[in-house]
Each structure stands twice: as structure tokens, then as C-alpha cells.
């Protein structure tokens, strides 16, 4: 009697490797970056505090306490008061609000312009690339402080959002160069050729096939632009070219408190600490995002 072949029984408990999506891998890398996670918590708590606590705080940034002129920190005024009796905590919260708003608007505007122009230049190349790159070189040669000074002097009643607008239209050049270089490399890849073969239009190839591969550099650049915008706005306000009274920003508060640094140091140190705290947090978050999007960081613990 012939032997009957017995079907091979496979062990159901074999080790299998679970496929991780790219987004999950990036998230795991970011969560393992301790300084970035601590900075994220600090930045979120600080943002919630400066935007929500003024709703219940009894001393708005424009309100004067005539019984407490130039008083040091106390229970009633934790950050002290200035020479007009304005509460230091209320002014620092308002200044942090305005500085964050300026930084976020600047980052969004610079990112949109830089990504759009860099993508067009890198994808189409040729004459279009030459024109956009010469425009980039031109913007790089224009001194930002001089341009802002001209606008500020020529229009002294300009609203605060003029500052992020100017910072945004002058802050896109670095990202545009990065996006252009990446597009020039990716446009020759097989998946782009396959998209062209099936009749995909240039706009779809740019925004649906190539641009998602650049999410890492774009997000990191936008994050670091926030810190840079805060420092630039601080410098402009320090020179009297930024936010004007009665509104305030952190740079305005530092410039306002510098004259009283020896007699009323709390007017300088509290906004200065707020700037350092925000900028350090954003920079650490940017470092964490850069490491998370780095393909070389591929060792993830289960």
C-alpha cells in the first residue's frame, strides 16, 4: 500500500513581523525623544495658560492699579507692576499671545510660499526654475530690518499683522531651496514616471505624489521658523519697529523694561524668561521632529 502524503502542518505560533505604517513609526520616534516631549507639554501648557487665564484674571494688560505703581512681585501682582500701575502678569500673558500669533502666521505664510515656489521650480526646471531662483536670490539680498523700518516709518499706524506679513514674505527662501532640491531628485523616480504613464497631470503629481514625501523637512522647517520669528519680532520691537502701544509683545516688554533694569528688574526678566521658554521649547520640538522623520533612525523598540 502506497504511503499517503501527509500535508505539512505549519506552526500557528510562528513569529510574524507586524508592518508599521510610516506615520506610526514617526510617532514612535518622536515619543521616544524625551526633550521634545517635555518641550511639547511645556509649550502646550504655556499656550493654554496665556490664552485662557486672562479670561479670569482680574488685571487685564491695559488696566491700571493706581495704588500699586512700580511695585515688585506680590500676591496681588505676581509679576509686579510698571510705573503706570499696569499688571506685569497681564502684560506678559498678552505679550506672549501676540508673539505666538506673529510667529505662527509667519511660519504658515513662509511655508506656503516656500513650498509652492520650491515645488514649481524643482518640478518644471528650465526657464521657470531660473526665474524663481533669481527671485529667491533677490529676496535674500534685501535687508529685512531696512524694509520693516521703511514700512514702519512710512505707515506708523500699520496694524500688528503687518509684521508677520513682512516676515513671511522674506522668510521662505531657505525652505524653497530645500523643496526645489528634493523635487529635482524625486521627479525622476519610478513612481513619478508611472504616474505620468497613466496620464496624471502635473498638479496631481506635484501635490499627491511628490509633496507628501517631503512632509518631514517641511514640518521641521515650519517648526523652527516659529522660534526664528519670535526672536526676529523681539529684535524689531526692541528697535521700536515692531508692535506699538497700547498693544504689547514680548519684545516690546523687554524694550520697555530695559530702561528700568536696575531699579525694576522684574519688568525685564519675566518677559525675557517667557521668550527663552518658548524658543527653547520650539527648538527642542523641532529637533525631535527632525530625528523622527530621519530614515536613519529606524530602530524602534516594540
CATH code, domain with 280: 1.10.3720.10
Rg over CA atoms, the chain: 26
| pLDDT band at 220; cut points 50, 70, 90 | confident
Q: C-alpha cell of 210?
A: 511628490
For range 43-64, the mean pLDDT: 90
For range 158-172, the mean pLDDT: 86
CA dihedral 35, 41, 43, 49 (to 10 degrees): -150
Does residue 15 carry a pLDDT above 70?
no
For helices 126-141 and 173-186, the axis angle rounded to 10 degrees is: 160
The pLDDT score that the predictor gives to residue 295 is 58
Does residue 46 carry a pLDDT above 90?
yes
| pLDDT band at 297; cut points 50, 70, 90 | low
The pLDDT score that the predictor gives to residue 207 is 82
Note whether residue 158 is domain-resident: yes
Note whether residue 62 is domain-resident: no
| pLDDT band at 41; cut points 50, 70, 90 | very high
244-279 per-position pLDDT tens digit = 878 888 888 888 888 777 788 888 899 999 999 999
Note whether residue 78 is domain-resident: no
Higher pLDDT: 149 or 120? It is 120
Q: C-alpha cell of 90?
A: 497681564
Mean of per-residue pLDDT scores for the chain: 82
- pTM score, two decimals? 0.82
For range 216-220, the mean pLDDT: 85
Distance, CA of 32 to CA of 288 (rounded, Å): 9
Note whether residue 1 is domain-resident: no
Note whether residue 270 is domain-resident: yes
Segments of 75-177 assigned E as strands: none
81-132 per-position pLDDT tens digit = 888 888 889 999 999 999 999 999 999 999 999 999 999 998 888 899 899 9
Note whether residue 136 is domain-resident: yes
Write out the residue range of the structural domain in which residue 165 sits: 22-53+91-293
Give the number of domains in the chain: 1
Note whether residue 217 is domain-resident: yes
Amino acid at each position: 500500500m502506497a504511503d499517503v502524503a501527509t500535508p505539512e502542518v505549519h506552526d500557528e505560533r510562528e513569529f510574524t513581523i507586524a508592518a508599521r505604517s510610516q506615520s506610526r513609526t514617526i510617532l514612535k520616534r518622536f515619543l521616544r525623544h524625551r526633550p521634545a516631549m517635555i518641550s511639547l507639554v511645556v509649550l502646550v501648557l504655556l499656550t493654554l495658560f496665556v490664552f485662557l487665564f486672562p479670561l479670569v484674571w482680574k488685571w487685564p494688560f491695559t488696566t491700571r492699579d493706581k495704588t500699586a505703581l512700580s511695585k515688585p512681585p506680590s500676591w496681588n501682582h505676581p509679576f509686579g507692576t510698571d510705573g503706570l500701575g499696569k499688571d506685569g502678569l497681564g502684560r506678559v500673558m498678552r505679550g506672549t499671545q501676540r508673539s505666538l500669533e506673529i510667529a505662527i502666521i509667519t511660519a504658515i505664510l513662509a511655508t506656503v510660499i516656500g513650498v509652492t515656489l520650491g515645488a514649481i521650480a524643482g518640478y518644471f526646471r528650465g526657464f521657470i526654475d531660473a526665474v524663481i531662483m533669481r527671485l529667491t536670490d533677490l529676496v535674500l539680498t534685501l535687508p529685512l530690518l531696512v524694509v520693516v523700518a521703511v514700512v514702519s516709518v512710512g505707515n506708523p499706524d500699520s496694524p500688528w499683522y503687518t509684521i508677520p506679513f513682512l516676515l513671511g514674505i522674506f522668510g521662505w527662501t531657505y525652505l524653497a531651496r530645500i523643496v526645489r532640491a528634493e523635487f529635482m531628485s524625486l521627479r525622476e523616480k519610478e513612481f513619478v514616471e508611472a504616474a505620468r504613464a497613466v496620464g496624471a497631470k502635473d498638479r496631481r503629481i506635484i501635490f499627491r505624489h511628490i509633496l507628501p514625501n517631503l512632509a518631514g523637512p517641511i514640518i521641521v522647517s515650519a517648526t523652527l521658523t516659529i522660534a526664528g520669528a519670535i526672536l526676529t519680532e523681539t529684535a524689531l520691537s526692541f528697535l521700536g519697529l515692531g508692535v506699538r502701544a497700547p498693544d504689547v509683545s514680548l519684545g516690546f516688554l523687554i524694550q520697555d523694561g530695559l530702561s528700568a533694569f536696575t531699579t525694576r528688574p522684574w519688568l525685564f526678566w519675566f518677559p525675557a524668561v517667557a521668550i527663552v521658554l518658548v524658543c527653547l521649547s520650539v527648538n527642542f520640538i523641532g529637533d525631535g521632529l527632525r530625528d523622527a522623520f530621519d530614515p536613519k533612525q529606524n530602530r524602534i523598540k516594540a
